[in-house]
Amino acid sequence: MISTQSPLARKLGNFVALSEAELAVLDTLHRRRRSFAAGRDIVFEGQTHQAAYILADGWVCSYKLMRNGSRQIVDFQIPGDFLGLRSVLFRTADHSVEPVTAVEASEVLESDLLQTFADTPRLATAVLWAASRDEAMVVEHLVGIGRRDARERMAHFLLELSARLTLVGRGTRDGFACPLTQYHLADALGLSAVHVNRVLRELREDGLATFQKGRVTIHDFDRLADLAEFDRAYLDQEGPLLR
């Protein structure tokens, strides 16, 4: 049975205090566990009749590829996140999903998802909350690319990752393991890899944060949050609203 400390249960439990019966239903979504290698797309843009996945371990990125070969990473998914949920509901995938690392994920068919929603409305509400939270993050990313300068953009991105990973037990306010490269950061933040390197160096030299050897260390959370004007209210992580 799925642990109450699993990433998905921890994430959804932040909005709904899940009962044992609801956790048991949640467990049925994990029947088909699959492994994926890094660098091979799980979901392709334009793909039809695509299953969704629940990420159990590893990191992936959602992206759109332009005609000239450039890539815009829309978001990164971490354990506890759904992958390709819109692809199930829209019938056609509107973006691609690529593992950044080797990942473990549970395949969720449309029929399974709809049956779960019908059987446990509170669980359906929790998934809707998670999807709405993801949309709120995309809005913040749009604001970041459009209106924040490079330092503010990077600071906000690192703080958001810190909050998301802390929620599912994979990080703390002081830092977290991070497998992303500077090229990932460049494609996500609308910067060049050279600019990313310069901004990370500035944050390190200013005693705010260090990103080295696969780990982000936040040296001064309050100053970093002030730089980014980071208001975590959009992440809605203050505890269950439904009990």
Q: pLDDT value at position 2? A: 45
Q: pLDDT value at position 202? A: 98
Residue 114 to residue 80: CA distance in whole angstroms = 19
One domain, residues 25 and 121:
yes
CATH label of the domain that carries residue 60: 2.60.120.10
One-letter amino acid at 56 equals A
- Look at residue 192 and tell me if it is in a domain: yes
pLDDT in tens, 171-197: 999 999 999 999 999 999 999 999 999
**Stretch 87-99: mean pLDDT, rounded?**
82
* Angle, vertex CA 37, rays to CA 84 and CA 210, nearest 5: 85
One domain, residues 121 and 152:
no
- Cβ neighbours for 22, distance < 8 A, ≥ 6 positions apart: 16, 120, 122, 123
Strands (E), 88-188: 96-99, 103-108, 171-172, 175-177
- Look at residue 20 and tell me if it is in a domain: yes
Split into its structural domains, the chain has a count of 2
Residue 52 to residue 25: CA distance in whole angstroms = 17
158 is written with which tokens? 């690192």
Pairing of strands 60-65, 209-212: unpaired
One domain, residues 74 and 99:
yes
One domain, residues 117 and 206:
no
**Stretch 22-27: mean pLDDT, rounded?**
87
- Look at residue 92 and tell me if it is in a domain: yes
Other CB atoms within 10 Å distance of the CB of residue 170: 18
Q: pLDDT value at position 40? A: 93
43 is written with which tokens? 């979901």
Q: pLDDT value at position 241? A: 63
Query: Please, are residues 157 and 227 in contact by the beta-carbon 8 Å criterion?
Result: no
One domain, residues 36 and 66:
yes
- Look at residue 162 and tell me if it is in a domain: yes
Query: Please, are residues 54 and 29 in contact by the beta-carbon 8 Å criterion?
Result: yes
One domain, residues 16 and 114:
yes
CA nearest to 232, candidates 217, 221, 243, 220: 221
Q: pLDDT value at position 220? A: 98
One domain, residues 29 and 80:
yes
- The residue segments making up the domain with residue 71 are 7-132
Write down which residue in 99, 132, 165 finishes a domain. 132
Write down which residue in 110, 132, 154 finishes a domain. 132
One domain, residues 16 and 77:
yes
One domain, residues 123 and 191:
no
One domain, residues 77 and 110:
yes
Other CB atoms within 10 Å distance of the CB of residue 44: 14
Q: pLDDT value at position 1? A: 42
CATH label of the domain that carries residue 208: 1.10.10.10
Q: Which residue has the higher pLDDT, 242 or 129?
A: 129
Q: Which residue has the higher pLDDT, 197 or 239?
A: 197
- Look at residue 137 and tell me if it is in a domain: no
Residue 175 to residue 189: CA distance in whole angstroms = 20
- Look at residue 117 and tell me if it is in a domain: yes
For the cut 60, the answer to whether the pLDDT of residue 3 exceeds it is: no
**Stretch 56-74: mean pLDDT, rounded?**
93
Q: pLDDT value at position 240? A: 67
Query: Please, are residues 78 and 176 in contact by the beta-carbon 8 Å criterion?
Result: no
pLDDT in tens, 188-227: 999 999 999 999 999 999 999 999 999 999 999 999 999 9
- Look at residue 101 and tell me if it is in a domain: yes
Write down which residue in 78, 107, 132 finishes a domain. 132
One domain, residues 12 and 128:
yes
One domain, residues 118 and 158:
no
- Cβ neighbours for 179, distance < 8 A, ≥ 6 positions apart: 59, 100, 101, 214
- Look at residue 243 and tell me if it is in a domain: no
Confidence grade of residue 100 (pLDDT, cut at 50, 70, 90): very high
